[in-house]
Amino acid sequence: MAVHAHPDDESSKGAATSAKYVAEGVEVMVVSCTGGERGDILNPNLAGDPHVLRDMAEVRRHEMAAAAQALGVHHRWLGFVDSGLPEGDPLPPLPPGCFGLEDVETAAAALVRVVREFRPHVMTTYDENGGYPHPDHVMCHKVSVAAFEGAADLERFPGGEPWQPLKLYYNGGFSRERIEVFHRAIVESGGESPFAEWLEQRSDRPERRVDARIRCAEHFEARDRALLAHATQIDPGGFFFRVPRQQQAELWPTEEFELARSAVGTATPEDDLFAGVRDVVGGSAPAPGSAA
């Protein structure tokens, strides 16, 4: 089960890993905490599109359905309202009723219901900083951790059959090392790298730990189809596509994760999110209802 803040996050973070496990027969569910209703139009080709401007929520629901089909995953909306990304100094208050202002236990209870229904062995989400400090990403972290820790606790979250996921990971993917590899490849080929400013802005940011590297290059094509399905959010000429797919596969054929919680024995570094889990559930692959 991959828990994300907005539709499109599932396609930019761990998407090829999701597609890989689907191809191996694992059931994977993506949970979108919000509908992305307050998202900006980030694709210049759609700027001013009257349909998008009229109903961003509906457009993003259709985009998410197409992305889920591209990856082969199940999908569930958690039903909370996008907080938007506050800008300014000082930052303006978040809009009333948005996800970022929800009570953590109340929001976690909604996710617990989905966890108890789907019964994943593995969950993925964001680190405590949200991957980046968007209020919905930070809240997604809090809610996911609470659900992971509380899904087996009927006193904390009454109702349904209790279920304990076995491992919780934080998404990696935008490490400085990875971006530097792509930056050098573009510069050495005589191109203009879109990553120079990104690297400069993050020069003093500490790197997160990498505990698992999942080889998934053969599923980059599915990842890219899922990304492009989110047409309002992804510029087909943007930085996601500046490094040719084959070159990405040669330079960096993995997606990375940080192991945050584990109820099974495992040794890092891992090359499988189900390391240790297979010994518990039996067989060469997780049982139906397991997810990455």
Reading the chain (292 residues) residue by residue, the pLDDT tens digits are 999 999 999 999 999 999 999 999 999 999 999 999 999 999 999 988 888 888 999 999 999 999 999 999 999 999 999 999 999 889 899 999 999 999 999 999 999 999 999 999 999 999 999 988 899 999 999 999 999 999 999 999 999 999 999 999 999 978 889 999 999 999 999 988 989 888 888 777 788 999 999 999 999 999 999 999 999 999 999 889 989 999 999 999 999 999 999 999 999 999 999 999 999 987 544 544 445 5
Let me know: does 73 contact 29? Beta carbons within 8 Å.
yes
Domains in the chain: boundaries: 2-172+253-264, 174-207
Identify the CATH assignment for 2-172+253-264 out of 3.40.50.300, 3.40.50.10320, 3.40.1160.10, 3.40.710.10.
3.40.50.10320
The verdict on whether residue 121 carries a ligand-binding annotation is: no
Cα–Cα distance, 242 to 248 (Å, whole number): 10
Q: Which backbone phi and psi does 273 adopt, to 5 degrees?
A: -65, -15
Computed over its alpha carbons, how large is the radius of gyration of the chain? 19
Cα–Cα distance, 102 to 147 (Å, whole number): 15
The verdict on whether residue 141 carries a ligand-binding annotation is: no
pLDDT value of residue 284 = 45
Which residues are 261's β-sheet partners?
A: 168
Q: Is the pTM of this model over 0.75?
A: yes
pLDDT value of residue 289 = 44
Q: Tokens 């790197």, residue?
A: 207
Cα–Cα distance, 116 to 243 (Å, whole number): 40
Cα–Cα distance, 112 to 165 (Å, whole number): 11
The verdict on whether residue 6 carries a ligand-binding annotation is: yes
